[in-house]
Structure 1
């Protein structure tokens, strides 16, 4: 009889999910995606980003 490892049901699994494929036209998620990507002006957040790396820029004393 072969010796198998016992299966652990509490283990984590890494699954690759492409969120763009999950957006079905006509759903609430698709509507939110369209609003954020194309309709809402997000330029108010641009001054808070570092021009070189794109990460959030923080004050030096924080």
Structure 2
């Protein structure tokens, strides 16, 4: 199983805001997050990570598409 860098929408690092407090149901950000996390087939990206035993943790595959689509 691939190892990913830890990310948490409840985090308060860097910016004193939490994603779950800001992205309320019905907003574009909430919908974008839901679509990327639940509707897109990210399995093709997940299958390419081979850092189970060694190597640095990778960014979770859903993070970059969310950033690109939001921009």
TM bracket (short chain): 0.5 to 0.7
Q: TM-score, normalised by structure 2?
A: 0.47
Segments ≥4 residues shifted beyond 6 Å? none
Higher RCO structure, 1 or 2 (CA under 8 Å, sep 6+): 2
Please, which runs of 5 or more residues in structure 1 have no aligned partner? 1-13, 57-62
RMSD, aligned α-carbons: 2.2
The C-alpha deviation readout for 1:14-58, integer Å capped at 9, x for no partner, is: 6421112111111111110110111111011113322245327xx
Please, which runs of 5 or more residues in structure 2 have no aligned partner? 1-13, 60-71
Structure of greater Rg = 1
Aligned residues: 43
